[in-house]
Amino acid sequence: MPRDTPLLRYLQALHADLAAIDGGAVADYIPALASADPGTFGISIVTVNGTKYSVGDSDHAFTIQSVSKPFVYGMALTDRGVDDVRHRVGVEPTGDAFNSIRVDEESNRPFNPLVNTGAIVTTGLVRGDTEAAQWQRIVDGFESFTGRTLEVDEVVYASEAATGDRNRAIAYLMRNLGMLEGDPETILRLYFRQCSLLVTTDDLAVAAATLASGGRNPITGRRALDERLNEHILSVMQTCGMYDAAGAWAVDVGFPSKSGVSGAVVGVLPGQAGIAVYSPPLDGCGNSLRGIEVCRRLAGDFGLHPHRDRGHPAGVVRGAYRGGEARSTQTRTAAEYACIEAHGDDLTVVEVQGLVRFAEAEFLVGFVVDDPTRSRVVVLDGHRALLVDDHLLPMFAELADLLTAAGRTLVLAGFDAPGIPSGFDRLAMSFAQVDDAIEWWEDAVLATHFTGVGADVARPVTEQELLHGLAGDDLDAVLGALTYGALEPGAHLAREGKPADAVFFLLAGQVSVRLGTSLAPGSARVAAFGGGVAVGELALLEGGVRSASLVADTRVEFATLTVEDFTRISGERPTVRAVVMGNLARSLALRLRRANDRIRVLDR
Q: Which spans of this chain sit near ligand GLN (rule: CB under 6 A)?
A: 65-66, 98-99, 116, 160, 167, 195, 260-261, 286
Supply the residues annotated as catalytic: 66, 69, 191, 243, 261
HEC-encoded secondary structure of 253-274: CCCCEEECCCCEEEEEECCCEE
| Closest by CA position to 179, among listed 301, 302, 86 | 86
Minimum CB distance to ligand GLN smaller for 262 or for 375: 262
Minimum CB distance to ligand GLN smaller for 289 or for 467: 289
Q: Are strands 525-530 and 330-331 parallel, antiparallel or unpaired?
A: parallel
Helix or strand run (H / E) with residue 569: helix 563-572
Phi-psi region of 374 (alpha: psi -120 to 50; beta: other; left: phi over 0): left
Contacts with 422 (C-beta within 8 Å, 6 or more apart), sequence order: none
Single-letter amino acid, residue 213: S
* DSSP assignment string, 391-427: GGHHHHHHHHHHHHHTT-EEEEE---STBSPTTGGGS
Minimum CB distance to ligand GLN smaller for 195 or for 539: 195
Q: Are strands 510-514 and 525-530 parallel, antiparallel or unpaired?
A: antiparallel
Minimum CB distance to ligand GLN smaller for 134 or for 570: 134
CB of 393: closest distance to ligand GLN in angstroms?
A: 42
CB of 191: closest distance to ligand GLN in angstroms?
A: 7
Burial category of 374 from C-beta neighbours within 10 Å (exposed 0-12, middle 13-18, buried 19 and up): middle
Minimal CB distance residue for ligand GLN: 66
Strands (E), 549-601: 549-552, 556-562
HEC-encoded secondary structure of 155-218: HHHHHHHHHCHHHHHHHHHHHHCCCCCCCHHHHHHHHHHHHCEEECHHHHHHHHHHHHCCCECC
Q: Are strands 556-562 and 483-487 parallel, antiparallel or unpaired?
A: antiparallel
Phi-psi region of 165 (alpha: psi -120 to 50; beta: other; left: phi over 0): alpha
CB of 516: closest distance to ligand GLN in angstroms?
A: 58
CB of 127: closest distance to ligand GLN in angstroms?
A: 22
CA angle 210, 68, 28 (to 5 degrees): 140
Minimum CB distance to ligand GLN smaller for 44 or for 116: 116
DSSP 8-class letter at 282 = B
Minimum CB distance to ligand GLN smaller for 146 or for 167: 167
CB of 198: closest distance to ligand GLN in angstroms?
A: 14
Task: In whole angstroms, give the CA distance from residue 410 to residue 429.
Answer: 7
What 3-state class would DSSP assign to 133? helix
CA angle 505, 509, 510 (to 5 degrees): 85
Please check whether residue 509 is in contact with residue 553, taking contact to mean a CB–CB distance below 8 angstroms: yes
CB of 268: closest distance to ligand GLN in angstroms?
A: 18
CB of 209: closest distance to ligand GLN in angstroms?
A: 21
Helix or strand run (H / E) with residue 53: strand 52-56
CB of 133: closest distance to ligand GLN in angstroms?
A: 22
Minimum CB distance to ligand GLN smaller for 280 or for 414: 280
Minimum CB distance to ligand GLN smaller for 286 or for 382: 286
Minimum CB distance to ligand GLN smaller for 96 or for 341: 96
CB of 113: closest distance to ligand GLN in angstroms?
A: 13
| Order of all β-strands in the sheet with 534-535 | 483-487, 556-562, 502-508, 534-535
CB of 111: closest distance to ligand GLN in angstroms?
A: 15
What 3-state class would DSSP assign to 485? strand
Contacts with 474 (C-beta within 8 Å, 6 or more apart), sequence order: 573, 575, 576, 579
Minimum CB distance to ligand GLN smaller for 42 or for 280: 280
